[in-house]
Amino acid sequence: MDLSQSLALGPCRSLLLSPGVAPQDFKMFFKQFLAFFGIHQMALCLFRFIAALGRTEVVGNTLGTFTLLMCGVALSYEDFGN
């Protein structure tokens, strides 16, 4: 890694040199980080939406449980392979 690459990476250099993340896999690391950030943002928005709908603790818990129940993944028998 030459000086220009080292300066361009900046704070990410320690992430690239830490165990478990190879410099060649930086693109995959960034894609995974972006996916985790998107999932986090989606969950945060859903939490705030449920909190806005259910102003009290009882209604919020009921809506949260109902949301988890209805938004779960339903897999039929045909979705599984042999």
DSSP label of 54: -
Identify the residue whose tokens are 């979705």: 79
What's the length of the chain?
82
* Cβ atoms 66, 54 nearer than 8 A: no
Instruction: For residues 64 and 22, give the distance between their C-alpha atoms in angstroms, rounded to a whole number.
Output: 40
- Using the predicted structure, report yes or no on whether residue 35 has a pLDDT greater than 80: yes
- Look-up: residue for tokens 């939490």? 47
Which among 52, 44, 46 is positioned nearest to 70, based on CA atoms?
46
Minimum mean pLDDT range among 26-30, 42-46, 62-66:
26-30
Q: What is the pLDDT of residue 15?
A: 53
Residue 70's pLDDT band, with cuts at 50, 70 and 90, is: confident
Per the confidence metrics, is the pTM higher than 0.75?
Answer: no
